[in-house]
Amino acid sequence: MALFKQGRDQRLPLYQQVRDELLENISAGTWLPDAPIPTESELTKTYDVAIGTIRKAVDTLVSDGLLYRSQGRGTFVRRPDFNASLFRFFRQMSSDGRFVMPTSQLLSRTLKKPPQPAADALKIDVNDKAICLERLRFLEDRVVLTEEIWLPASLFASLIDLELSEFGNLLYPFYEQQCGQLIASAKETLTIKSANTCIAEALKTAENSPVAVIERVAYGYDKTPLEYRISHGAAETFCYQIEIA
């Protein structure tokens, strides 16, 4: 008889129940990103199921992009690369022609009620408290992006009392280190709007000039929404390119 945690839905196909058990280990941080999961043989003993069931469960998580196989080494928890994701839309070339990752400056960190779009994205009530981070992204000495980032206070409480100087340039590894919250996937929506006074001033562009707006909702491995982010960049720096094979 398969050995699952109490409360598992027995109506689901067996491989799906195993898949959910494996996902729970990933979501809980029992298996960390870039680390190998137990072997198929070990998993068959843990859950007392056939190896074919284990393989189908693992295949599902590989297909979902949560695990990856390395020939001769095993199966590993995938750590998504978000560093280049946002900046695939923006020219990130320095004055001497090198491609560089912009730096950041955190302007503020406040605890307050979220606006409706942030509350909806994070699946929290507008009366719940959320952490709002405001920051700028720089390429050399030029501001290329403004960012407004919302986080559920219940999951990121340890960020409330930190000094702003303690926040890293890359937030997702910082979330993992400080709060144990791992970002596994994200959904982005891109639109073009007009710059309001604040955005125009930050980006050193004219008011009502076109800006690219990227809204991102980032999720944990269990699809819990962890971050809502809205970024603005001057349209003149915007460049969309995609290869179609």
Q: What is the pLDDT of residues 35-45, one digit of tens each?
A: 899 999 999 99
The whole-number pLDDT of residue 1 equals 47
Identify whether residues 103 and 222 lie together within a single domain: yes
Buried b (16+ CB within 10 A) or exposed e, 120-133: ebbebeeeebbbbb
Identify whether residues 123 and 18 lie together within a single domain: no
pLDDT over 80 at 96, yes or no: no
d(CA 86, CA 80): 13
Provide mean pLDDT across the span 73-78. Answer: 91
Q: What is the DSSP letter of 35?
A: S
Query: The domain spanning residue 174 has which CATH number?
Result: 3.40.1410.10
Domain count, the chain: 2
Identify whether residues 182 and 208 lie together within a single domain: yes
**CB of 63 closer than 8 Å to CB of 108:** no
Query: Residue 39 domain-assigned?
Result: yes
The whole-number pLDDT of residue 160 equals 94
The whole-number pLDDT of residue 37 equals 93
Identify whether residues 52 and 92 lie together within a single domain: no
Identify whether residues 53 and 108 lie together within a single domain: no
**CB of 196 closer than 8 Å to CB of 207:** yes
What is the percentage of the chain residues whose pLDDT exceeds 90?
A: 56
Tokens of residue 123, six digits:
């699946």
Domain that holds residue 59: 14-77
| Distance in Å from the first CA to the final CA of the chain | 47
Query: Which residue, 235, 221, 230, is CA-closest to 181?
Result: 221
Provide mean pLDDT across the span 139-165. Answer: 93
